[in-house]
Every structure is written in structure tokens, then in C-alpha cells.
Structure 1
């Protein structure tokens, strides 16, 4: 099972209308840009260049973002068949 907590107010900015009407999801790492079709290596590069996490924190964040991105990519590929 894949379970992600979704909120409409990342970084304290209400984005519900954008999410619903523009058809996208977002996560709280605002500086890493659009993650559609991005590899795990590219996620790593983006996180490293914008956020200065300690090693364990970085591993946890990379795992969270990568799991979200690649679960969404896999579901989109399955749905588009």
C-alpha cells in the first residue's frame, strides 16, 4: 500500500483552487520544481542544491520525495495503457 498525506496549504499558502482547477499535486519542497518524469538521481541533485540537510535528514527527505514521485509516475503509466 502507498499512503501519502496530502494538504492544500504547502508552506502556509492555500492552493486548493490551483490544485483542483489546474490538475496537479504539490509537496512542501517548493524549490525543486516540477517533478513529472524526473529520475531519482535528478531529485537528489535538486534537493542537494537547494536544501542543506544533515546526512540522515537528507536520506529521509530523498526517500520521501522519490517515493512520491515514482509512485505517481507508475500510476500514470498504468492508467495511460
Structure 2
């Protein structure tokens, strides 16, 4: 079974307005940085 979940309050910080304003969502992992230029292999790593 695979489960995927999107939360608007990762780490108990409400980010709904940020998602709407920036027109994006985030995975909620701190210190991950910007992944927009990363390859699939780099993200998996």
C-alpha cells in the first residue's frame, strides 16, 4: 500500500496563506531547500 498525504500545517505552522500566495505546496521537511532545479535522482537521495 502507498499513502500520500498533504497537510496545510506541517510542524504545526499554518501555511495555507503561503500556499495560496506562492501558488505552490511544500513537503514540510525543514532544511530541505529549493528543489526546483534538482533532478529526480537528487531528490530521492
TM-score, normalised to structure 1, is 0.44
> Which residue pairs with 1:42 in the alignment?
42
Structure 1 unaligned blocks of 5 or more: 45-81
- The corresponding residue for 1:69 is none
Aligned residue pair count: 42
* Secondary structure in structure 1 of the residue aligned to 2:31: helix
Long gaps (5+) in structure 2:
none
Structure 1's consecutive aligned runs of 4 or more residues displaced over 6 angstroms after TM superposition are none
Cα RMSD between the aligned structures? Answer: 1.8
